[in-house]
Copies of this chain bind each other. A is one copy, B any other.
């Protein structure tokens, strides 16, 4: 949990203007552990900031995500994507082009169950995110 000053510093460092709205969205999200949607955040913030628009919440979440300050829970795909393989297996997702590859690895199929009171595990999957060979090659040679 970052202090307000740490947040200010982060914005300054990255040269991104820090507005009231951005701070409010970030602090609201930080204070919650229920992984809210943009709409849910907007609803909560409306009380304190009646003029805050939903579009701004979306834009702000995008900005914060680009800054690496917030994560989207799991699938980065906007659209639902399907798989005919229903047995346990895993995925790699390329942050560059969105390509999803199947990963079969028995050592990932058995993991310690979550220590969560009463939770009945039906399955699990591991999600590696990063850059596929092609995208890694495209971005590596040119930085700076």
Interface residues, chain A, CB within 8 Å of chain B? Answer: 26, 29-30, 32-39, 41, 61, 65, 68-75, 77-86, 90-92, 94-95, 99-103, 105, 107-108, 111-134, 136-137
Contacts and interface: CB of A to CB of B under 8 A. Distances in A.
A79 B37 contact: yes
Contacts of A111: 108, 126
28 contacts: A30-B84, A37-B82, A68-B86, A69-B84, A71-B85, A71-B86, A72-B82, A73-B80, A73-B81, A73-B82, A73-B91, A78-B80, A92-B119, A101-B116, A101-B119, A108-B112, A114-B128, A116-B132, A117-B133, A118-B133, A120-B130, A121-B128, A121-B129, A122-B130, A122-B131, A123-B130, A124-B127, A125-B127
Contacts of A70: 82-84, 86
Contacts of A124: 126-129
A131 B72 CA distance: 22
A61 B84 CA distance: 10
